[in-house]
Structure 1
Amino acid sequence: MNAPLLQNLRPYLSRLSLADAALWLAGALPLAFLLSLMLVLFSLSPAKADDVKCTGENLLVAMQRDDPAALDKVRAEAAKTPNGKGIFWKIEKEGVKPSWLLGTMHVTDPRVLTMPEGAREAAAEADIIVIESDEILDEKKAGAALLMHPELTMFTDGKTVKDHLTPEQVTELDEGLKQRGLSLATVARMKPWILASFVALPACEISRKAAGASFLDKQIAEDAIKAGKPVAGLETLVEQLKAMADLPVDFHFRALIETMALGDKMEDVIETMTEIYLSGEIGMTMPMLEAVTPSGADKDDSAYAAFERRIVQDRNVVMAEGSLPHLEKGNAFIAVGALHLPGAEGLVELLRKDGYTLTAVGG
């Protein structure tokens, strides 16, 4: 990577690790929903959505301008990823009606909510909608379930996040939360993966959630309910949070600290991920993150491997197994996080191994 590009990126990407960025995209459904829930439970009130504008810039544009060879490398690596192109797939098997698979991004960005061509129509005509967790439709029920497992969202040993951070890091976290209209005193007992959702998402995304906007998965489910269509879940929120909790707490605190270090520049990372998603080139996500991570950045490969196994691959298997009863009946519309789709152990490949033909629809 050449000097001009590094000079542009280093101030805010020097401490970003591949695992931390992937953590948000792949594990964000429970966090996206919990963020909305916490805003209600704690009466938190960030600025109104109309007052907060999204300002992130696509880092790939800078790469194209300053180091096109690096961008070529990203594209070459992406090309090696099985099923890395396409977020909308047709699922077919002889003897049953076709079903559909949509990779989602758990945000309220209007561009994402538009959905790829044909997806909205497929969802409207499907007999059932299947999402990661149908509990996102009932905040009271979800809240009650989480209250039965407070250890998944809160410190229950009398400690707070302040006991795990240096005074400087506490100050940094406090400032990051204040920028989003939040108080550290209010959320100090929350686990680091919950706090990370507050500081990782751009302020514009948080304000949209506070104003009641639904992220894509929830919008799809809400539309189904309005149409009198059944909605099924592949996991429970408790199961999703247990997957997060299974990772070492030190890993989560490191992710939180590094996310704080990005500050407002996290908007650039999210914007880049969003534009990759909208292009359908989801296989570019990981190579892009590696490209913008300076070679000297401190990355824990073992921690990332544990994350990928527990948060992505293990859940891919659960999702594939849970999808089969619906696929056997046909005409199902399945929507899960986009990073669960590509790869040799991704959902697309797992369903093929179960005897289904999957074809990417459009770009």
Structure 2
Amino acid sequence: MKKRVLISDIAKALGISVTTVSFILNDKAKEKRISDAMTKRVLDYVKKVGYKPNQLAKSLRTGQTKILGLLVEDIANPFFSNVAKYIERQAYDAGYHIIYCSMNNDGQKAKELIQMFMDRQVDGFIITPSEGLEDTIANIRQNNIPVVLFDRYIPTVDTHYVVSDNKKGAYEATKHLLENENKRVGLISLYSNQTQMRDRLEGYMQAMDEFQLQSYIKKLQLGAPEQDAKDQILEFIVDNKMDAVLFSTNYLAVSGLKALKEHRIPLPRMAAFDEHTLFKLHDPSITVVSQNIEQLTKELIQTLVADIAGRSKELRKITIPCELIIRESSIVTLPEQIS
């Protein structure tokens, strides 16, 4: 096996001190008044022999690993996979690498993953917190590790967060369905105390109250088997003779579409939170409340990097508007409504 090139090997080969090589490799040549000719000589040799710095040793010197921990609900969900893609790109541009994983709304798993990242001394965290993580997030803060919450926040823990305006997004989607001559408009959501779910419920209720119409709400257990979810969604839509439905997540909407197709039941007018690959391809195409992923992730990285650098004067609590993307499922005349 080829021997790894060390700084001492470079110094010996060039007949200079290890300290001089170290200063040049750490961009301190001008500060230490090392000549341009010597700097070029060292850098050319480094390139020639393929020297790679020891990242562990570098992190011990600088106090930074240049690694960020990203913990999301489910990396397989198209929304979170897109988020990860943008965060990885923007973090790289800022000089950082990302380690990411899914928590699957499992509080114990989330705590273990966060502790693992802390043991690896990541420079900061971006977390979509599951329920029951209040003490864990507070502990990160107490250890002076920068953290930004994303998608939802914890009201009892004072920290940076970047979220979407879920209440207004749900209000506008519900209002759109109501304005298209739908009287019986339902919400299919989850039993959850997470802020994004509460806000979506509030937005739906605001629109229903504004139109002075009865609300129809179905909540499913978080993490319920898909077949159970499909059965409950189907029963809710059929028994209540829904004209239209707002789904609070994209995966609930997918379960609903599957259930209706399997039983050959006409699709009520519908809208869903968050894009999904299926929604543009489905016939009719599905109306969505789309979160601005590019803007969300830009704010996330800027907030976290500023905190790592010690430039955060105060906590940043940022809310980004959603966009209602109207497609065929909420406006076309479908074959016939459920009777």
User: TM-score over 0.5 for the alignment?
Assistant: no
Higher relative contact order (CA 8 A, sep 6+): 1
Which protein is richer in strand relative to its size? 2
TM-score, L = length of structure 1: 0.30
- TM-score, normalised with respect to structure 2: 0.31
Structure having the higher Rg: 2
